[in-house]
Structure 1
Amino acid sequence: MGFFAAHPTRHPVNCPDINSLTPYLADFATNSTDVTIPAAVVILALAVFQVVRKTGIKRSPLDALPSVGIPRYPCGFYVGAWNYLKHGRAITQDGYIKHRGKPFKVALANRWLVLVSGRQLVEDLRKASDEFLSFSEGINSVLHHEYTVGHEQHHDPYQIPVVRSPMTRNIAVCFPDLYSEVVAAFENLVPATTDDWISVCAMQTMLPVVSRVSNRFFVGLKCRDPEYIKITTQFASDVIRDAAWLHVTPPFLRPLAARLFGHLESATRRAMKHLGPIIQHRLNMDERYGRDWPNTARPNDMISWLVDEVRGHQTRRTVRTLTRTLLNVNFGAIHTTTEGCLHALYSLAANPNYIEPLRTEISSIVQTEGWTKVAIGKMVMLDSFMKESSRFSPGGAVGMLRHAVKDFTFSDGTVVPAGTLIAVPILAEHHDERNYPNAQIFDPFRFSRMRDVAGEGLKHQMVTPSPSFLTFGLGRHACPGRFFAVNEQKLIMAHVILTYDFRLEDGLRPEDEWLGLMQGANTSAKVLFRRRKYITDA
């Protein structure tokens, strides 16, 4: 998806310098007796315009930054913006190599995107306060959260502390339910036998699996309702699609266009039919008893944690607001986790020699620890495989988006004015030889070898962000749900590896799909599954 925004910082058209035109106009005036006076007037007007342009318009600090992918002719900016929409990944990589750790800019539809790389500048971005560089406005400039997930969700994302604290704390407690849902989901969606191979569309299989497992954690057994699965999976796709066409909609028309053609309102109404009675019952019980219900245990799920969070906040404490919050949580969970599982599945199916070492590790640990969060944490080789898969497919060419609310100065003296969009070329960072030896080679156990070094065990886990691994962002705005996402991905893949033999129809890893700067796993590829005859299980 290309990045477009509504507020240009300065008109960027590359117009020819008036000094280069003056000789031609003067010659025209000299040789044209009938139009000498009009020509003189034109020359004078252009001369005045030149003076005003150079003295009356404040130059943007962005003029000092090199641009990449901009043709050197009139209106080249807009040609560059179109090229960046089509070839953003290649242009970003070219700029990264050419400017090696120094900022550069690329053209979006009507604004510049400044790309910064290297440890120090990325650290500057990490430490910058939202008063200067806004994370939420950066995301909003791409996904248009105000229209795709809701105004209240954009301005008051109260689910973030819930994801960061009670949800993460309860992964271990709820792990038996998560595992049972993984088993049940695959039994339904991949009914393979030990005798025959069956072919399934990987995307259409993994998406409902992830919805079921995630929502077992969020809303309990309602996760198995086919209509509810359809709502949650469709919403995740609709947010991306709606954001794409909102990019090319004039800003003043977006509120009306989103209302007429967007999917948020219809998704909210449909979800409320399923979640409304559950949420209302929780609110009623909370009003009467708080956390301590009589004669029964209060469900330990996302609904309960959200109810705790909104206690005392009447504007948040409505069925509609809580339903929409759960939809937003689903969008964050389902899309990224599905992509992570698909990338890993495709890479593993295309390289079957990696399966047996992983199967041996998983089987050994499960026999000792059972299917628990502790067991998943000990699967170091699987963690390494998943992280290497994410290094190659982080979800896009750029990340760590920020919108400059005020002028901001980086430690190298680079100034970006208010209104500028800033990002890190994460795919290029992930493939930089300075960060990873043999960075262009898929090395599944790269990180498990790093963890063998004394004192390096925690540093190279998949959940640990670093300046060289930016899939989950960095610093206080690193993805708060990454602990659940990583455990869920590893659990799903561990079950697949132990339960099935699997392969690709032609043996070749399906090509990733790109839309502008956004990277996605192949949506049409099929994977063959056959249930293993001898499964070592706990």
Structure 2
Amino acid sequence: MAASSVYATVLWAFPCLYLLLKSYRSCAGWRFLLRGRALMLAQSQKYPRQAFTVAVPGNTLHVVTTPEHYHDMNAAPLSSMSPWLAAREMFQPKYTVGIDWGAPREQVSLVTVRSTRHMISELPKLEDEFVRIMQNELDKAVDTKDKRQGWSQVLLWETIQRTFIRVTTHMLLGREAANDDMFLSHALAFIAETGLIMETVRLVPSFLAPIIKGRNTHQKYFFNALARSIEQRRAYTTSTSDPNQETPQSSLEAFVDFAPNDWSLQKCVDAINIMFLIIVLATPIIASHLVQDMYSHPEHLEDLRTEENHVYLSSSSSLSAQLDDLPFLEAFVMESMRTKCFQANTAHRVAVRSFTFSDGHRVPAGEAVEFNQHAHFNDPALYLDSTKFDPCRFLNKGKSIVDIGYDWSFWGVPRHICPGRLHVANTLKLLAVVILQRYDCRIENTKDMNFEWRDALVPSPHTVLSMRFASKVKHSVSSGQ
């Protein structure tokens, strides 16, 4: 009788212990959602130069921080450490956009990189249009928002997000789409829906995920617009001989030109859509952080204005050359990126098979690995007074926003670096120059301008930027649309 009682107790104990451990892990994963950045930074500072793991919803995340870890990730073959599996885990494309990426996706990635690099080479021709978009959106905000003692009360995140989505749309999809209010309205709603779905799917039990997937009118409108543009470009290249073909005027046109002829329309739509989402979900956050820093550290405004006074936005000469000659602004943007560090981790990977770092740390197959740049940028051994905002730490040090490598890991690892980093850098500097030349601004309440979610620092939708037109607007170009 006693033996059977013990046996029964053991039978009950194992499932109870399993449920207890599962519950603890679930709580730990949820804790990461709200305090992931802080938890990882504290762990990195408590145990410097050591890899560690944290529970995240649905997986285990291995966090690494040393130069050796960084170089190991750079050297790891795609057959061992996959960025596409990490992106699939992050974006949940099966539910957000109705496709399930296979792995590897090197061929799609190659076409994406080629089309992006082509458009980077076209930046000097596009920058005047970017300036017009920025002026148009910011002028509209100043003119239409409620005023308090002559200052328009502009919601910073809402305005910057729409501005940068228009800029991104112009580069990726073309001028017509960037100036189409109907398209932009659907695109903004589609982006918001996608962000909500990709987070929700990762939090609910897997059997509930299929009922969450997005299939609304905004997504359909956006996909149909992409499909029409792709078909138009294909028809044009088919009917026009190579010597007479116009250079692609958007990433979409370049993608169609570089893609193999046997790729289906849906495959092109899916690839361009993912390219669009990756940029529009990240770039407005970095831009919002930059504006926050410009007006929460007003002691640097005089130096910024002195320098930007030499930039002529209406000049027919290349703006790129002028933007390259703004060392203080370059340093200021870098310091904003360092201190805000919108994603605590970079170089997102999932182990295809078991992977062992050079220090012996092992990552089982299926688990995630990321490099914690937030800890690196806050290391007092590397950055004196690392919590202080000081753009002079980068000034005249031969540093650039688009640098790559362990010292500036913002763009990932060199073998798989972000191909659009020059576009991001130029548009950030363009935004700063446009605002400094055209408007007076201030942020009266700098409290709670951001909140943490997972490893990201997300701008609050409630932060107000007080704006008015400068008494003397310098070097303006025609706004229009």
> AA paired with 1:413?
G
Deviates more, 1:432-441 or 1:178-187: 178-187
Structure 1 residue corresponding to 2:142, chosen from 166, 183, 190: 190
Three-state SS of the structure 2 residue aligned to 1:524 is coil
Residues 163 and 480, structure 1, Cα contact 8 Å, conserved in 2: no
- Taking a change above 3 Å as real, the CA distance of residues 87 and 277 of structure 1, as seen in their structure-2 partners, is closer
- Give the corresponding residue for 1:302: 251
CA distance in 2, matches of 1:41, 1:211: 63
Residues 145 and 154, structure 1, Cα contact 8 Å, conserved in 2: no
CA distance in 2, matches of 1:120, 1:131: 20
Three-state SS of the structure 2 residue aligned to 1:399 is strand
- Give the corresponding residue for 1:340: 286
- Taking a change above 3 Å as real, the CA distance of residues 132 and 178 of structure 1, as seen in their structure-2 partners, is same
Three-state SS of the structure 2 residue aligned to 1:200 is strand
Deviates more, 1:382-391 or 1:264-273: 264-273
- Give the corresponding residue for 2:461: 523
Give CA-to-partner distance per residue, 1:313-353, whole Å, 9 cap, x none. Answer: 332xx2x5444444323212222221111111111112222
Structure 1 residue corresponding to 2:321, chosen from 355, 358, 374: 374
Three-state SS of the structure 2 residue aligned to 1:151 is coil
Structure 1 residue corresponding to 2:63, chosen from 115, 139, 148: 115
Three-state SS of the structure 2 residue aligned to 1:402 is strand
- Taking a change above 3 Å as real, the CA distance of residues 389 and 358 of structure 1, as seen in their structure-2 partners, is same
- Give the corresponding residue for 1:511: 449
- Taking a change above 3 Å as real, the CA distance of residues 73 and 415 of structure 1, as seen in their structure-2 partners, is closer
Give the alignment of 1:325-404 within 5 angstroms.
Answer: 325-366=271-312, 372-404=319-351
Q: What's the offset of the Cα at 1:73?
A: 8.6
Q: What's the offset of the Cα at 1:383?
A: 1.6
Q: What's the offset of the Cα at 1:84?
A: 2.9
Q: Structure 1 length as normaliser, TM-score?
A: 0.78
Three-state SS of the structure 2 residue aligned to 1:448 is coil
Q: What's the offset of the Cα at 1:402?
A: 1.2
1:470 aligned to 2:425? no
Q: What's the offset of the Cα at 1:93?
A: 1.9
CA distance in 1, matches of 2:213, 2:6: 55
Three-state SS of the structure 1 residue aligned to 2:324 is helix
Give CA-to-partner distance per residue, 1:300-323, whole Å, 9 cap, x none. Answer: 2223202212242332xx2x5444
- Taking a change above 3 Å as real, the CA distance of residues 291 and 151 of structure 1, as seen in their structure-2 partners, is farther
- Taking a change above 3 Å as real, the CA distance of residues 405 and 323 of structure 1, as seen in their structure-2 partners, is closer
Deviates more, 1:402-411 or 1:78-87: 78-87
Give CA-to-partner distance per residue, 1:166-196, whole Å, 9 cap, x none. Answer: 1222112322322233333333333389x93
Give CA-to-partner distance per residue, 1:80-125, whole Å, 9 cap, x none. Answer: 3343333222321221122211111122345422111111112111
**Radius of gyration: which is bigger?**
1
- Give the corresponding residue for 1:427: 374
Give the alignment of 1:124-523 within 5 angstroms.
Answer: 124-151=72-99, 156=105, 157-158=108-109, 160-191=112-143, 196-218=150-172, 219-251=174-206, 253-254=208-209, 256-257=210-211, 261-263=212-214, 266-293=217-244, 297=246, 300-315=249-264, 318=265, 320-366=266-312, 372-450=319-397, 457=398, 460-506=399-445, 508=446, 510-523=448-461
> Unmatched 5+ residue regions in structure 2?
15-19, 477-481
Structure 1 residue corresponding to 2:2, chosen from 36, 58, 72: 36
Q: What's the offset of the Cα at 1:486?
A: 1.2
> Unmatched 5+ residue regions in structure 1?
1-34, 50-71, 451-456
- Taking a change above 3 Å as real, the CA distance of residues 166 and 73 of structure 1, as seen in their structure-2 partners, is closer
CA distance in 2, matches of 1:42, 1:372: 77
Identity, % of aligned pairs? 20
Q: Structure 2 length as normaliser, TM-score?
A: 0.86
Give CA-to-partner distance per residue, 1:188-214, whole Å, 9 cap, x none. Answer: 333389x93211111111111112222
- Give the corresponding residue for 2:472: 534
Deviates more, 1:398-407 or 1:495-504: 398-407
CA distance in 1, matches of 2:88, 2:452: 20
The number of equivalent residue pairs is 460
Give the alignment of 1:99-114 within 5 angstroms.
Answer: 99-114=47-62
Residues 248 and 254, structure 2, Cα contact 8 Å, conserved in 1: no
Three-state SS of the structure 2 residue aligned to 1:141 is helix
CA distance in 2, matches of 1:178, 1:438: 36
What do you get for the CA RMSD once the two structures are aligned?
Answer: 2.9
CA distance in 2, matches of 1:39, 1:215: 69
Residues 439 and 470, structure 2, Cα contact 8 Å, conserved in 1: yes
